[in-house]
Chain A
């Protein structure tokens, strides 16, 4: 249930944002794949993929939250993968998991894959792993409590930072009308809680591995004859994540110089969507109504009572009756009917085709 809440849907993104995040995600995954291919022993390659499958399986081991029957938390896995496999292999594996979730389970949109890979793969892996290693120092010399604490903090920060990007991406796309601050508070609040449990489970897994298989915790550590990832790499990855998040925030801030206004969204659409048609009077009118009668114009509580809006609505209905000749109800009915008729024809054709194939099928099948 939990990872479902974090998967970005296609519908919340605009084309430019989807394209930009897809390009960025693809570039990061390509770099990570190259780095993982170089630093990881080629014999270790199957391990990454099987670890991806492991994350799915680990999500089956649910944990009923205390006091909240019905909801259950389980492992997201990004930070654990990064800790065990190293950040590059962790990112590639998370990307593989997210692509399988998208294609096979239709969880998260195809065009939102870039966003999902950044939010749930790149940010948790880089931020989580960087924080883990910064707090931990050497894996071999670290004391247990320090290992636990750093794993837990890494999950908390990694998961929450990734989740905080969801509302920002949606807002930059301009599809959402829920104000950024509200959505951000909800997402960050929920994911601080999720990060807490993710951290606790990761913490428990690491405790088990420390007892049962200490070598597994150092898989990403120096392998004989392989390049070693030093403290510099850790700092660089943390800085990179900070820049990524700061960049997203500042991009968002600069795209709305006149503050957070509802009307911004409508005007934005007027520019991009109605490139073919003139902005219809309906859009202009709606724009006016919107700035006048939205619940919280310019983020301030409205001065006029809300009841006034109802009267305005009636007025708008009257003007819909008289003016606005562009709107003709019958055309949309005709459009719906046309679609329905087309679908009926397609359906009939498919049924006929299948029936014919079924009749032909056994006859040809029995031929030697």
Chain B
């Protein structure tokens, strides 16, 4: 498993990739806030909210199936909640689409509303992560005032995530080949404890080696980066356009609906 499985499109080059990470981060945060501020019964008003994430994906050259697959993988929890809401909310709502008029229960409206909001939210986040290298995003978070220690930890987690996952997968394969599936429950649980424990000790030793290597390269407690990213005119234009778009989606469009 490698980084490329998750953010494989982040290193590409496109108009969206070239935008500054801060601008994209702020835009996606604002988009999400506007998205969840919609009333849960106004499903139809959500339609234009599809434009921003989809255009970021298309202009960023990210295949739509990649983003949709992320939505599908993450959906079980929210789907369960969606399917429960019709059981509880029986209020009648008049709905109309074209020449047809019908009455739906508030529960079904809520279910659709939640599912659509969830899809759009994940699409927007995928668009951000697939067009922004994680390092630039960390840089953006630091410039926006996140605690330095936290940003540093995020960098470490990202750097060693897949190294350690690879190691864990190797250990797991070894366990499975030795017939762990047929062992009694107690033994299996003890095996998990031993494996995780030994992984833990290996991680301790690895972090000692990392520490030594970093100290040898001049690390004295704070990281330095050779950053060239700066907020330019096109980033400001992008943010302004997003702001206008969000205002239009939230107030203008529902007003004419």
Please list the residues of chain A having a beta carbon within 8 angstroms of any beta carbon in chain B: 4-5, 7, 9-15, 18, 29-30, 33-34, 36-37, 42-54, 56-58, 60-64, 66, 74-75, 84, 92-93, 95-97, 99-100, 102-107, 109-111, 175-179, 200-201, 203-205, 207-209, 212-213, 216, 262, 266, 269, 273-274, 276-277, 282, 286-287, 289-290, 293-295, 309, 312-313, 316-317, 319-321, 324, 327-333, 335-336, 338-339, 342-343, 346-347, 349-351, 353-354
Contact = CB atoms under 8 A, between A and B. Distances in A.
Nearest to A6: B77
Contacts of B207: 46-47, 50-51
A181 B185 CA distance: 33
A120 B161 CA distance: 19
Given A15-B37, A106-B129, A293-B90, A100 B201 contact: no
22 contacts: A5-B77, A9-B121, A10-B118, A11-B118, A37-B149, A46-B207, A46-B210, A51-B203, A53-B157, A54-B199, A56-B165, A57-B167, A92-B150, A96-B154, A97-B157, A106-B122, A201-B192, A277-B255, A290-B106, A339-B50, A346-B55, A351-B58
Contacts of A178: 81, 84-85, 87-88
A346 B58 contact: yes
B168 A60 contact: yes
A100 B154 contact: yes
A328 B257 CA distance: 8
B216 interface: no
Interface string B151-179: 01111111111011101110110010000
Contacts of B44: 332, 335-336
Given A60-B172, A332-B257, A346-B54, A269 B160 contact: no
A295 B211 contact: no
Nearest to A94: B153
A9 B78 contact: yes
Contacts of B168: 57-58, 60-61
Contacts of A66: 185
B147 A30 contact: yes
B103 A317 contact: yes
Interface residues of B, number: 117
A321 B118 contact: no
Given A10-B32, A177-B85, A204 B189 contact: yes
A11 B36 contact: yes
Closest 7 CB pairs of A and B: A204-B193, A49-B156, A208-B197, A329-B96, A57-B164, A320-B94, A350-B58
Contacts of A317: 94, 101-103
B189 A312 contact: no
A335 B47 CA distance: 7
Nearest to B185: A66
B81 A350 contact: no
Contacts of B81: 12, 176, 178
Contacts of A95: 150, 153
A253 to B, nearest CB: 20
B134 interface: yes
Nearest to B105: A313
B97 interface: yes
A343 B117 contact: no
B70 interface: yes
Interface string B196-220: 1111110110110011001100000
Contact of B196 (A7, A96, A204): A204
Contacts of B88: 177-179, 262, 294-295
Given A61-B168, A63-B189, A286-B93, A331 B126 contact: no
Interface in B90-134: 90-103, 106-107, 110, 114, 117-118, 121-122, 125-126, 128-129, 134
Nearest to A96: B153
Contacts of A104: 6-7, 129, 134, 158
B181 A64 contact: yes
A293 B107 CA distance: 13
B239 interface: no
A63 B74 contact: no
A352 B234 CA distance: 20
B233 interface: no
B129 A103 contact: yes
A48 B4 CA distance: 24
A286 B191 CA distance: 57
B77 to A, nearest CB: 6
Nearest to B134: A104
A49 B157 contact: yes
B51 A346 contact: yes
A33 B150 contact: yes
Contacts of B6: 104-105
Given A47-B207, A50-B210, A293-B91, A335 B253 contact: yes
Contacts of A290: 89-91, 106
Nearest to B123: A106
A93 B153 CA distance: 7
Contacts of A50: 156, 160, 164, 203, 206-207, 210
